[in-house]
Amino acid sequence: MHELQFSAQFLQELFVGLRLELLFKLLVAVLLGGAIGLERQIAGKPAGLRTNILICVGSALVMDLSIRLMGADGRVGDPARIAAQVVTGIGFIGAGTIMQSKGTISGLTSAATIWVVAAIGLTIGAGHYIEGLGAGIVVILVLSALGSWEHKLVRARRTVPMTVRAVPQCDFAPLDALLKECGLHVVERDVWDHARDRVFEMMVRGPARQFEVARDLLVEREDVLDVVLH
């Protein structure tokens, strides 16, 4: 009788301990996901505070569940199976944050943030708190500290060789006007006429982020056959 009472008490204490551990995991997931989400919310991104918290908490819960699941024979299953489904499934959410418009792509950072927040949640759910905390701090530093530096780098002006292959006898004036609308200035230009095309070899100067935008707009023109940025 005494042994049965001891066993019941031991199981009860063990159950309470495990649930407290799960609660701690979820609280850590809320803190780390919330810290990253807060930075995204301040930056005005679509995946903000609540989104990142829910992703991190959900990932931690699923990882904890996958570790504790046991088969019919009493053996612990493979924790990587459910975790792998989280990594795959989170890609659909990340893809939903990526937008493309007029040759420009936005939302890549938000998609990457969602993916890494899920990874942090899985790490916490597996009980690796130090690794999860360290990853969370690194992500916050990357998003906050490097954000302004990246913005300055993208806005920096640089000179890039550009080759535009157009139809024979193509007038350069409309192409030059398009480049100017994109904030780019042709520093120097050479023209090479061939039987099947006219090639403009140029040195173009302007904001770094505008070169691909201008290239995509040029390619959309009927009189332009190809555009290459060197």
Q: How far is CA 225 from CA 122, 185, 195, 215, 216, in A?
A: 48, 21, 14, 11, 12
Same domain (yes/no): 162, 143: no
- In this structure, the answer to whether residues 170 and 83 fall within a common structural domain is no
Strand-pairing partners, residue 161, are: 203
Q: Are residues 22 and 40 in the same domain?
A: yes
What is the per-residue pLDDT across 56-109, written as a single tens digit (0 to 9) for each?
888 888 888 777 775 545 565 666 777 777 877 787 777 777 665 444 556 777
One domain for residues 114 and 205: no
Q: What is this structure's pTM?
A: 0.57
pLDDT category of residue 49 using cuts at 50, 70 and 90 = confident
Q: Do both 69 and 167 map to the same domain? A: no
Please indicate, yes or no, whether residues 120 and 180 belong to a single structural domain of this protein. Answer: no
Residue 215's CATH number? 3.30.70.60
Q: Does the structure show a pLDDT above 80 at 117? A: yes
pLDDT of 35 over the 60 cut: yes
Residue-level pLDDT at 164: 95
For residues 34 and 80, membership in a common domain is answered with yes
Residue 85 in tokens: 């489904």
DSSP string of 99-164?
EEETTEEE-HHHHHHHHHHHHHHHHHHTT-HHHHHHHHHHHHHHHHHHHHHHHHHHH-EEEEEEEE
Q: Is 75 helix (H, G, I), strand (E, B) or coil?
A: coil
Residue reference for tokens 């090479």: 192
Host domain of residue 209: 157-229
The tokens for 129 are 């708190």
Q: Are strands 157-166 and 104-106 parallel, antiparallel or unpaired?
A: unpaired
What's the pLDDT at 168? 95
Mean pLDDT of 27-51: 82
Let me know whether 150 and 113 are in one domain: yes
